Amino acid sequence: MIKFFARSLLAKMIGLFLAVSLIPIALVGTLSYWSAMSAFQKIQYTNLEEAADVRKSQILAYLDQTMMDVKFLSSLETVLNSSNQLRSAVVEKPGSTPSGPPDMRNDDYSNACKDLNPIFKRFMEVLGNESSGYDDIYIVDGVSGVVLYSFKRRGELGTSLKNGPLRESGLAKVWDLVSRTRKPSTLDFSAFAPSGVPEMFMAAPYGPDTAGNPNFMMIIGINPNRIIKIMKTAIGVGETGETRLVGQDHIMRSETRSGSESAFFRKKDEMKPSAMALKGESGGVIGQDITGEPSLVFYMPAGISKDENLGANFEWAIISDIDVKEAQASTVDLVWHIAFIALTIAVIVAILGFLAARGVSKPIRRMSDQASRISDGDLTIEVTIESRKDEIGQLTRSFHSMVENLRQQTREILDGVNILMSSSTEISATTSELAASASETSSAVSETTTTVEELKQTVNLSSEKAKSVSDRSQMTFQVAQGGKRATEETVSRMNLIKGQMESIGETVVRLSEQSLSIEEIIAAVKDLAEQSKLLAVNASIEAARAGEQGKGFAVVAQEIKSLADQSKQATDQVRTILEDIRASISAVVMATEQGNKAVDAGSKQSREAGTAIDEVTKSVHEAAQALTVVVASSEQQSVGVEQVSSAMDSIDQAMRQNVEGTRQLETAARNLEQLGQRLKDFVNRFKV
């Protein structure tokens, strides 16, 4: 299919006509579909909202009317009087609990019931039928919570709502709520054993005492019949939709439209719309119905908690939905209508496109065949000129002129090609000879360049060697200068050392002379010690002679003797040390004499070395100056050779470019010759 449209102009034009006509239709249809779907959804949401709002109004009206009935009954004077009689008959005193059920044969109780029964009977006959939902009427003692009256007189009559069997029931809870708030109140549906069905209760206080506490409460029990009937109405929700009521515990407060089992107070609705409505929000979404099918859903709160007349502390959610398929049925019908219209337009456009395309494609196909013959080299064809005044006629006339011009140009090209062939042959031969000559010249230049490069390297090497020798000569000269200065400094220091050695010699001589003086002192000390010892001995003898009086002097004599011995020993030790010192001094004197001789010899050699280094310095300086001249000359030669090398490189590069250009010229000439041959072969294909 794609190849057919790609090859055939007729098919392309038909496809173009279809595209131009169907694309707008498709766009308009798509926009119409989405606009219609949005509009229908808004309409459906509006219908669902109206249905939910109607149910809300009906439920609130029903509950408000019930509360008005409760208040009306509690406001009757007969009811108040009869309630006092009932309390007297059932309860011994206010606040006490009866010991059992009331005695129906009690006159006070019977008389009170005779006054109440006609009123409540008439009320139940008129309003308490099955469709109204009124199940029973109760009068409860406001203080003790005892059920004083029950119209149907079931098991709750006479029981206490405080601590009796019904203390957990909705009846007891609504009594407790009114006792605390002292206002009319409503309690949500809850299981109630006496009736066997879930019931909601509405209560109103009446007959207040002096403290404002209610003496009695009028309570009506309501079964789900009326609520179910209101919610079962299918107006506004189509054939598949329904409206349902959901309590705060997410348990249904209505029946479902489909299903055999009862959903009231049994089935749960935990979907998001219900939760949103119980939060006080309202709106429409695409969600699911109670069976899980896709549906358009509208949710809203019932507004029971906001109705001050009811005194309710709970809320209900009203959910209305309709199946998505039913809601979009009108949109689907619109799509089918649009598709039918588009198909009809497509057929008409295809027929018109075929007729128009055939009128365009026929002459073009004929020109295509003629152009194919021209591409094969046949210029002898005769082009048919259309008499049409439109673009096709202009095209055929232009095509005819093109063929005529092509014939004339082909003849001229053929003549030019013959001339080109002969010229290109001559150019090719000339360029071949030129290329050979240029190649030989380039080879010679390359050899010369190589020789110059080798000479350049040699000159550079000589220059580098001369520069290196010059640098080393300069370094040698500097080293010689340093050696000369070091030698002079050595001579100076040797002279200084000689003077110091002479000073040391003189000091050692003086030390030797002083050691002789010390020897004399030591001899004198030794004589003194001998005399002290002798004196101590004489003192000891004299002390012995003196007896007891001379003992102290004997001790002193003994100490003097001991001191004389120690002095003698110390003198001997000093003499020994002095002899060692004298020996050392003699050695130092000899070493000093030898050092003086060595210093004289070193000083003489240093002066001779200084003289030799001075001569070497002069020679090195002269050699360095000569090498500097050699280096300058080598650098000039290197620069000259560098210039020659650069010139030869330029010549070599130019020759290479000439050779390359000659080769390119030769190639161009050969290409030109080949082109001429191909042009000749090409032109020969055409028949003129």
> What would the 3-class secondary structure string for 200-262 be?
EEEEEEEEECCCCCEEEEEEEEECCHHHHHHHHCCCCCCCCCEEEEECCCCEECCCCCCCCCC
- The pLDDT score that the predictor gives to residue 379 is 66
Range among 260-269, 415-424, 636-645 rated most confident: 260-269
Higher pLDDT among residues 43 and 137, named by residue: 137
**Mean pLDDT, residues 322-335:** 71
Confidence band of 433 (pLDDT split at 50, 70, 90):
confident
- Report residue 249's pLDDT band, with 50, 70 and 90 as the boundaries: very high
pLDDT (0 to 100) of residue 198: 93
pLDDT for 176 beyond 70: yes
pLDDT band at 444 (very low <50, low <70, confident <90, very high): low
Mean pLDDT (whole number) for 186-200 = 91
Enter the tokens of residue 416: 């030019």
What does the pLDDT average to over 371-393?
Answer: 71
Averaged over 226-245, what is the pLDDT? 80
Asked if the model's pLDDT at residue 2 lies above 60, the reply is no
Query: pLDDT band at residue 327, thresholds of 50, 70 and 90?
Result: low
Query: What value does the mean pLDDT take over residues 402-410?
Result: 75
d(CA 597, CA 577): 30
Reported as a single tens digit per residue, the pLDDT across 554-565 is 777 777 778 777
Q: 320 and 452 share a domain?
A: no
Q: Of the given ranges (23-27, 386-390, 553-557), which has the lowest mean pLDDT?
A: 386-390
Residue 332 forms part of a structural domain: no
Q: What's the pLDDT score for residue 88? A: 82
pLDDT at residue number 319: 92
Q: Within 13 Å and on the Cβ side, how many CA atoms surround 72?
A: 10
Dmax over Cα atoms in the chain, in whole Å?
193
Decide if 375 is inside a domain.
no
Q: Which amino acid is at 9?
A: L
Distance CA 257, CA 289 (A): 11
The reply to whether 134 falls in a domain is yes
Domain assignment present for residue 84? The answer is yes
Regarding predicted confidence, which is higher, 147 or 92?
Answer: 147
Q: With a cut of 60, say whether residue 112 has pLDDT above it.
A: yes
Answer yes or no: is 664 within a domain: yes
Domain that holds residue 500: 446-683
Q: Is the pLDDT of residue 204 over 90?
A: yes
The pair of structure tokens assigned to 365 is 């196909």
DSSP-derived letter for residue 236 is: T
pLDDT classification of 187: cutoffs 50, 70, 90: very high
- CATH value at residue 662: 1.10.287.950
* Euclidean distance between the first and the last CA atom of the chain, given in angstroms as a whole number: 41
Contact 338, 32 (CB under 8 A): yes
At 438, the pLDDT band (50, 70, 90 cuts) reads low
Q: Are residues 320 and 450 in the same domain?
A: no
Helix (H) or strand (E) holding 320: strand 317-323
Residue of higher predicted confidence among 390 and 534: 534
Residues 75 and 222 in one domain: yes
303 is a domain residue: yes
Is residue 355 in some structural domain?
Answer: no
Mean pLDDT, rounded, of the chain: 77
Higher pLDDT, 395 or 445: 395
Q: What is the pLDDT of residue 686?
A: 63
Determine the average pLDDT of the residues in 388-415: 73
Average pLDDT over residues 250-266: 81
Record the tokens describing residue 336, joined without a space. 């089918």
pLDDT one-digit tens code per residue, 65-83: 999 999 999 999 999 999 9
**Of the residues 279, 296, 324, the one at which a domain ends:** 324
pLDDT exceeds 80 at position 55: yes
Max mean pLDDT among 13-22, 27-36, 556-565 falls in: 556-565
Mean pLDDT for the stretch of residues 478-486: 72
Indicate the residue among 302, 324, 346 that finishes a domain. 324
Stronger pLDDT, 132 or 402, i.e. the higher one: 402
Q: What is the CATH number of the domain that holds 191?
A: 3.30.450.20
Cα atoms in the Cβ-side hemisphere of radius 13 Å centred on 622: 5
Mean pLDDT, residues 409-423 taken together: 72
What CA–CA distances, in Å, run from 466 to 455, 587, 619? 16, 60, 18
Q: What percentage of the chain carries pLDDT values higher than 70?
A: 74
Domain endpoint, select from 298, 324, 350: 324
Mean local confidence (pLDDT), 621-627: 68
* pLDDT at site 200: 95
Spatial CB neighbours of 22, under 8 Å, sequence gap ≥ 6: 342, 345, 346, 349
Residue 588 is assigned to a structural domain of this protein: yes
Contact, 648 vs 447, CB < 8 A?
no
pLDDT tens track for 138-158:
999 998 899 999 998 887 888
- Mean predicted confidence (pLDDT) in 656-685: 73
What pLDDT score does 222 carry? 92
CB 129, CB 222: distance < 8 Å: no
| Number of domains into which the chain is organized | 2
Are 206 and 61 part of one and the same domain? yes
